[in-house]
Chains A and B, each alone.
Chain A
Amino acid sequence: MNIQHINVKFYIQNPESVSLESYNKIFNTWIQTHRTEEMLVDVADYLHVHHGPGIMLIGHEANYSLDNTEGRLGLLYNRKLQENGSNEEKLAQAFRAVLTAAQILEKENDLQINTKEVQVILNDRFLFPNTEETFKTLKPDFKNFFDKLYNGDAYTFERNTESRQRFILDVKADSAPSTESLLEHLPAIAESVHA
C-alpha cells in the first residue's frame, strides 16, 4: 500500500497560554518570508468554529494549521500533493515538515509541543479505508518508522475504529523527546520523494 496524503498532528503542551489570534500575523509573516519548503498561499482563520481547524496556513503542496479538532489543540501538517518514495520516506517527509515548523514556533512564539503523543491520518478514504485490513497492511511500515523516530523508547499505537473517520493512528510514547531529537532520528529522505 503506497501511503499518500499523510497528515501529522502534534498536540500543544500549553494550549491555555497560546494566544491563537496572534498566529494570523505569524503565519502571514511565514508567507512573506517563505518560511517553509512548501509554496504558501494564504491564511484562513476559523477560530470562531467550535473544535474546528483553528488557524490555517494554506500552501500548495501542504497546509499547516493550529488545529483544534476534538478540542485538542495541535500543530497539524496536511500533505496534499502526492509523493514518490517508500512509505518510510513519505512518513519522514511529513514528520520533518511538521517538526521543523514546531521547532520554529517553539523558539519564536508561545507554544510548546507535546512530543509524547502524535496523530497520523491518511487523508484519502478511497485508498486507505479505515479498516482493520488497512491497519494490518500498514502496521509494519508504521512500526518500523516509529521504532526509529522514538529511538528505542517505548510507544504504542492504536487505530481510531469509528468507521466514518479517515484512517487515524494515535501514537503514544513513554518519553517526551525534544523536537530536535525527533528530527535527528528521522529516517533519511531521498531527493526524489517529492513528486
Chain B
Amino acid sequence: MKASNPLWQKQVFESAPEEFIREIETYETEIQLRKQGKMDEKVFAESRLRRGAYGQRYDNGQRWDGTETQTLPFPSSSTELTKGMNTVWDAPGMQRIKVPYGGMNPKQLEVMADLAEEYSDNIAHVTTRQDFQLHFIHIDDTPALLRRLASVGMTTREACGNSVRNITGCPFSGVCSTESFDVTPYADALTFFLLGHPDIQDFGRKFKIAFSGCRDEACGLVNMHDMGAIGVKRIIDGVEKRGFELYVGGGLGTVPHQAKLFADFVSEEELLPTTQAISRVFARLGEKKNRNRARVKFLVAQLGIEEFKRLVTEERAILTEDPRWTAYLSNLNKLDETPLRPAGKLAEDTPRPEGFDNWYKTNIWNQKQENYSTVTIALPLGDITPNQLRALADIARTYTNGTIRTTVDQNIVLRWISNADLIEVYSALKAVGLGNAGAGTIVDITSCPGTDTCKLGISASRGLAGELKKRLAEKSHTLDEAVQDLHIKVSGCFNSCGQHHISDLGFFGVSRRSGNYTVPHFQVVLGGEWTHNGGSYGLAVGAVPAKRIPEVVERLTGRYVAERQKGEHFKEFIQRVGKVEIKKLIDDLTKLPTHDEDPSLFTDWGDSREYTIGDIGVGECAGEVVSHAEFGLLAAERQAFEAQIALDEKQYQRAGELAYLSMKQAVKTLVQEQFYDVPDDNDRVAEEFRTRFYDTKIFWDEYAGGKFGHYYLRAHEKSNESYSPDEAHRRVEEALLVIEAAHTCYGKLLATKNTVKPFGI
C-alpha cells in the first residue's frame, strides 16, 4: 500500500470532474465503513465492483502450489476483514478502467503508465471491451488510483458489477469509409447519460452496449451485445435523418444469443430515452435471483421480442422528459477530430525500413479522408509496458492531435496519421517494440485473462494464446493467404470473455478427468463469424487437451488450405465439410494417455504446476445482486457516518444537515419501494413517507410506535433552521435510529412481500 495514498486526497485536481471526485469520496468512506465493520461484506462487494475493483484469482487466500493447496497468510486474514464473500482484504485484486468507445489521449496513456508502475505489476492490459485493466492492486490503493485517473477525466464507475459496462464503439468511427456517420458522439452521450443513472442501479446483471457505424464490418460486434446500435440514415419528409438500427438481447456467455432487431430506425433524438426505457424494463422484469438467467437476452427470449418492444414503448411513453436526451445534439461536433500534420502520400523513393512492408499490409487502414491512415498497434495479449505507453503518447503527440482508440481485439489504434509520416511512425513504434505486423490476422490472437488472474478460469487462455502466437508468427511469412486472415480467440472458460464464439477458430477452457488427475482442455469452437458485427456463432466440435491445441490448429488450417474451394471462407468450409468429418480429424487428439505416459499433458500452458481445478473461485463477473433498497440504505448510512465526522470536527451545521439528509435518504428508499420515481424533493419525500408509511403505521416500531417516523418528520420541519451543537448531536443520534428503523421496515416489507413497484407512477 502506498505511503502517499492519503496525500492524493488533499491534492487538488482542477481538471477532475467534480462528480468523479465526489464519487471517489463516497467510495473511500465505504472502505472506512467496511474496515470498521459497519458495512456488510455483500453490499461492499457490489459497491467496489461498481467502482471497477474486481476480485482476482487466489483472493480467497488459497493457492494450489503444484502439490498441495497452501493457505496464503495475508495479514488481514487474522482480522477476518474481507472485501466480499470469501475475499481476503489484503489479497491483490484487479482494477478495471472504463474507456468509453476506446477513446483516449496521450495524457491518459501517461497516467496509465504511472499507475501500472506504482500500483500494479508494470503492465497495463487492454481488454476485449476496450477497457484497461491493472492487476495485483491492493484495495487500499484504489482511491488514490481513482483520483489520479479522474485528474485526466477517466472513471472506473460501473466498470464491473450489475450495471451498464463500458460502452464500446468502432475504433474507426469518424474515419471509416463504410460508416453511415460517426457514432462517437452518440456513444459518448449515452455513456455519460447512463453513468450513475438511477434507472440502471437495479439490474440483476450487467448490461453491455455497443455502437457500430455500419452493418458489414466487425468493429462494433453489435450482435453479441445486450443492446447494439448501428448508425443508419433515413429520408423522412424529404430530410435526411440520422438514427440507429437497434438490437437487443444478444450475448455470448455459456448460452450465446444473437441479438434481435428491436427497431430498424430509432431517431437520434430517441436514442437516449429508448435506452432508458429498455433499462427500466430490464430492471423491473429481469431475473434477479438466478444470475445464470439474469442477462437481458433471457428476458427477451422469455417475453418474445414483440412483447419486449411493447413494454419498452409503454415505458417510454411515461418517462419524464429529460433535457439531456437531446441537449448533446446541438454540439455533436464537440468530439470531431482534426489532423495535426498535412495530408501526404507515402514516399515511393524513401528506403523502407526492414519489416515496413509487412506491417503496412496488415496494420494500416486507409481513412476516408484522403492520404490519412489509421495505424493499428498489435499488442501481444493486450499487454503494454509503462515505457511503451509513454512512447506511444509521444508518437501520438508528434504525428496526431492525440487521437487514440483501444479496440475490442486488444489493440490500440492511432488515427489521422498522414501517409507521408508512415515510415517515421513505423520506425518510432518499432524502436519501442510496438511495430509488430499482423494486426487482424491469425497471429493477432485475442484472449481473456483465464487462469492467470481470473477467479473463474479453467484453462490458461493467455498461455495458449501466447504459444499459438509464437508458433504462427515463426512461420507467418509462409502461411497461406487464406490462413493469414483467420481469427483465433481464446476464453479461459465458458463465460466467453475472449469472444471465442465469433472467431474462425475459437477455444474455451474446460477440464477432463484421467485417473486421479485432472487435465486442462480446450473445447474447440469452429466457424464463428467476426464480420457483420459478429454475424454468427461457431459450434463446439470437441474438447482437446490444452497442450495439443497447436496440433489442432495445424491440422484444421492445413485441411482448409488443401481443400478449400475458390473464395470459400473458413466458416463455409466448416459447414461444407461437416462437423462429423471435422471431429474425425481431431479425434485421436482427444484420447488421453496416463500420467506416466505423458506428464506434460497434465500441466497447462505457461504454468509449470501440475494442473488443478481447485483454484477456481466464485466469480464476481455478475457481482452480488444487491437490491436498490440496500444501496439506498447504505447511502443513508454513509451520510450518517459523514455527519458523525462533521460532529467530531465541530462542524455542527454541516452535521445537522447531513443527519437530516441521511434520514431523508433512508425513508426515500422505502418510499421508492412503492413509488420508484418519487422526486428528490424534501417536501415531496416527507409527504409521500407520511401518507404511505407513517399514517399507515407500516413504519411503526413494535415497541416505540411512531417515534422514529416522528424523528424524521420533525427533522424535516426544522430542516431550514440552524443547528446548535446540542441539536446537531441530537439529530445525528436520531438519524441513526431512523436508519435502523428503515432497515427493519424494509425487512418487514420483504417478509410480507407487499412491495409493489410500478415504475411509471
User: Using a CB–CB distance below 8 Å, which chain A residues touch chain B?
Assistant: 2, 4-5, 24-25, 28, 31-32, 39, 41-42, 44-46, 48-53, 56, 58, 60, 63, 67, 69-70, 80-82, 123-127, 164, 166
6 tightest A-B contacts by CB? Answer: A50-B433, A25-B608, A126-B4, A53-B122, A32-B65, A4-B3
**Interface range on chain B (Cβ under 8 Å from partner):** 35 or more
Contact A166 B1 (CB under 8 A): no
Contact B4 A52 (CB under 8 A): no
Contact A58 B92 (CB under 8 A): yes
Within 8 Å CB of B381, what residues of A? 48
Cβ-based interface call for B73 (8 A): yes
**Known A50-B388, A166-B117: A28·B65 in contact at CB below 8 Å:** yes
Q: How far is the CB of B435 from chain A (nearest CB, A)?
A: 10
Q: How far is the CB of A109 from chain B (nearest CB, A)?
A: 14
CB within 8 A of A44: which of B70, B121, B432? B121
CB<8 Å pairs between A and B, sample of 8: A31-B63, A45-B606, A53-B123, A58-B136, A123-B117, A124-B2, A126-B7, A164-B110
Within 8 Å CB of A49, what residues of B? 123, 380, 383-385, 433
Within 8 Å CB of A44, what residues of B? 121, 135-136, 452
Inter-chain CA distance A126–B11, complex, in Å, is 10
Query: What does the 1/0 interface line of B465-496 toward A look like (CB < 8 Å)?
Result: 01001100000000000000000000000000
Cβ-based interface call for B609 (8 A): yes
Q: How far is the CB of B456 from chain A (nearest CB, A)?
A: 16
Contact A50 B432 (CB under 8 A): yes
Contact A24 B385 (CB under 8 A): no
Complex: chain B residue closest to A68, CB-CB: B385
Contact A41 B58 (CB under 8 A): yes
Within 8 Å CB of B630, what residues of A? none
* Given A49-B433, A51-B388, A52-B123: 11 more A-B contacts, CB < 8 Å: A5-B2, A32-B67, A41-B58, A50-B434, A51-B432, A52-B122, A52-B383, A58-B121, A60-B72, A63-B121, A124-B2
Cβ-based interface call for B387 (8 A): yes
Inter-chain CA distance A70–B122, complex, in Å, is 13
Contact A70 B73 (CB under 8 A): no
Query: What does the 1/0 interface line of B102-139 toward A look like (CB < 8 Å)?
Result: 00000000100110011001110000000000011010
**Known A46-B123, A46-B383, A49-B123: A24·B2 in contact at CB below 8 Å:** no
Q: How far is the CB of A164 from chain B (nearest CB, A)?
A: 6
Cβ-based interface call for B390 (8 A): yes
Within 8 Å CB of A125, what residues of B? 114, 118
Contact A53 B121 (CB under 8 A): yes
Contact B385 A41 (CB under 8 A): no
Within 8 Å CB of A39, what residues of B? 72-74
Within 8 Å CB of B385, what residues of A? 49-53, 69
Inter-chain CA distance A53–B117, complex, in Å, is 10
Which of B2, B3, B67 has most A Cβ within 10 Å? B3
Inter-chain CA distance A31–B58, complex, in Å, is 13
Complex: chain B residue closest to A27, CB-CB: B608
Within 8 Å CB of A60, what residues of B? 72, 74-75, 90
**Known A32-B66, A126-B8, A164-B110: A81·B136 in contact at CB below 8 Å:** no
Which of A5, A32, A50, A56 has most B Cβ within 10 Å? A50
Within 8 Å CB of A50, what residues of B? 385, 388, 432-434
Inter-chain CA distance A124–B90, complex, in Å, is 20
Query: What does the 1/0 interface line of B576-599 toward A look like (CB < 8 Å)?
Result: 000000000000000000000000
Within 8 Å CB of A69, what residues of B? 122, 385, 387
Inter-chain CA distance A49–B379, complex, in Å, is 9
CB within 8 A of B3: which of A5, A48, A53, A164? A5
Within 8 Å CB of A41, what residues of B? 58, 63, 72, 91-92
Within 8 Å CB of A28, what residues of B? 65-66, 608-609
**Known A70-B387, A124-B3, A126-B4: A42·B63 in contact at CB below 8 Å:** yes
Within 8 Å CB of A4, what residues of B? 3
Contact A31 B92 (CB under 8 A): no
Contact A51 B433 (CB under 8 A): yes
CB within 8 A of A48: which of B73, B135, B466? B466
Which of B2, B73, B122, B607 has most A Cβ within 10 Å? B122
Within 8 Å CB of A126, what residues of B? 2, 4, 7-8, 11
Inter-chain CA distance A51–B114, complex, in Å, is 17
Q: How far is the CB of A85 from chain B (nearest CB, A)?
A: 13
Q: How far is the CB of A131 from chain B (nearest CB, A)?
A: 15
Within 8 Å CB of B466, what residues of A? 48
**Known A32-B67, A41-B92: A24·B117 in contact at CB below 8 Å:** no
